[in-house]
Amino acid sequence: MGSQQDADTLQRTWGSISEQPLEIQLIDPVRQLPATEAPTSLLSDELFERAAAADVLLYPVSMLAEMVSRKRVMPLLASETVSAEFADADAEVPVLENRSAVPVALRMATSIAGEKLAKPLGGYLPSLMLGESSSDVSVPTWDDYTALVESSDGKCSEPTAPQWAGAMYLWRLASSLQTTWLFDRESLAPLLTQPEYVAVLQQMKDAVAKSSPEYHGLTPGEIYRAVANGELQAGIGFPQLDTGPEADGPSGDTVITFKELPGSAVSSRATGTEDERRPLPHRAMVDPFMLVGSMAASCRQTAAAGVFLEWIGGGQGSEPLYRNISSLVNVATPASESSTDMAERYRAWLSTQLSSPGFVPTLQLAGAAEYYNVLDRKVRECVLGELSAEVACEQISEAWSKLHQKHDRASQKRMWRRARSIG
């Protein structure tokens, strides 16, 4: 999935290091569709149909479980195996740098039941970004974040653009909840109508309402640029390559402090100091539309495909990809925390965060894009409109239950349990 511009960059960059021909077939990325009512089921069908005749697949990580269920991917080859196969064929192996191991969070996101099935090509995590005027502000909990939005006269923002609002709600849930995650483990019944899930959406709605209207409907990258320009005092997002009409605009000189998202809090009742609140340890979730690469089950050239995946995941000569394709972020090479480039500082922060094991899975279900689409639409209707948090959660749960039936509940339960490695 990607744009023609991305495909041209990929073709040109690969051609500079390899004589192996590369044929690319494109499918529109979900996040670049013009409406929230995206025909996601049709996109998924097209992807799976084309996957049956491909060598390598690049797709959102949220589709991994269905790729496995439909037998469209095979486990990745070890680097040594790739080199050995090339040697047996008397073929020249393109030079691959010895890169650091894939961060634990990305290994978890691209494996099912312990089997490594995809190469992570993205890896963005949302950060609480504090501008210079807010750099010393403590924001350990979401209540503290709401207070910051109010005290900044609304000059804070979080992603509520189409195809981002639903992810933002999931990121809030991941950092707020301690035990459950989206579905009942036994029945797969959606849990969104439970009080804690409704409360998180209400908290998001309250924070967005306190943010100035001109900062509603933004993407993570737009929020990053607004913080970098000093327009926003703080925001939730991450650096994204701007390929739009204003791509050459200045990014600003503001020094940004990157922090993990706030979490929930518990009162220190045991010590008799109820006013003191400490943040609880919280979990995180990778971007559900993070691109990953897999070897197709129909692959006819496993060695060449293995080399290509190693290269696109951060191999030598792949640097132009990460400078020119907005959906990619380099998590393979070290970054400097002291760099004056804020994007580099973000990468240094990201590397630390991705080393944590406290991650929950994305919606690893058949028809995942359909689940995300209804989630995103209802979250936007709630936080940007008049729909109450309680009703929004009820409507999402009802729609998800219908999707369970559409895609066979028993099969969905098996996928979800494998994604969570609980059976």
| Contact assessment for residue 228 and residue 220, using Cβ atoms and an 8 Å cutoff | no
In this prediction, residue 265 carries a pLDDT of 64
Per-residue model confidence as pLDDT tens digits over 297-333 = 999 888 889 999 989 988 888 888 888 888 888 877 7
Q: Mean pLDDT over residues 107-130, rounded?
A: 90
In this prediction, residue 340 carries a pLDDT of 78
Per-residue model confidence as pLDDT tens digits over 139-169 = 999 999 999 999 999 999 999 999 999 999 9
Domains in the chain, ordered, with CATH?
4-122+287-353 (3.40.190.10)
How far apart (Å, rounded) are the C-alpha atoms in residues 216 and 213?
5
Query: What is the maximal distance between C-alpha atoms in the chain?
Result: 74
Q: Transcribe 350-406 into DSSP letters.
A: HHHHTT-S-B-----STTHHHHHHHHHHHHHHHHSSS--HHHHHHHHHHHHHHHHHH
How far apart (Å, rounded) are the C-alpha atoms in residues 172 and 383?
13
Please state, rounded to an integer, the average pLDDT across all residues of the chain. Answer: 84
Q: Which pLDDT band, with edges at 50, 70 and 90, does 401 fall under?
A: very high
In this prediction, residue 92 carries a pLDDT of 47
CB atoms within 10 A of CB 4: 9
Q: Mean pLDDT over residues 387-403, rounded?
A: 98
Per-residue model confidence as pLDDT tens digits over 274-289 = 445 555 667 899 999 8
| Contact assessment for residue 351 and residue 103, using Cβ atoms and an 8 Å cutoff | yes
In this prediction, residue 249 carries a pLDDT of 45
Per-residue model confidence as pLDDT tens digits over 348-377 = 999 889 988 789 999 999 989 899 999 999
Q: 257-259 and 115-116: which strand pairing? A: unpaired
State whether residue 158 is helix, strand or coil.
coil
- Here the tokens at position 85 are 């196969």
What percent of the chain clears pLDDT 70, i.e. is strictly above it?
Answer: 82
Q: Mean pLDDT over residues 201-207, rounded?
A: 98
Per-residue model confidence as pLDDT tens digits over 43-93 = 567 777 878 888 999 999 988 988 888 889 999 876 555 555 554 444 444
Per-residue model confidence as pLDDT tens digits over 75-88 = 987 655 555 555 44
In this prediction, residue 33 carries a pLDDT of 46
How far apart (Å, rounded) are the C-alpha atoms in residues 215 and 211?
7
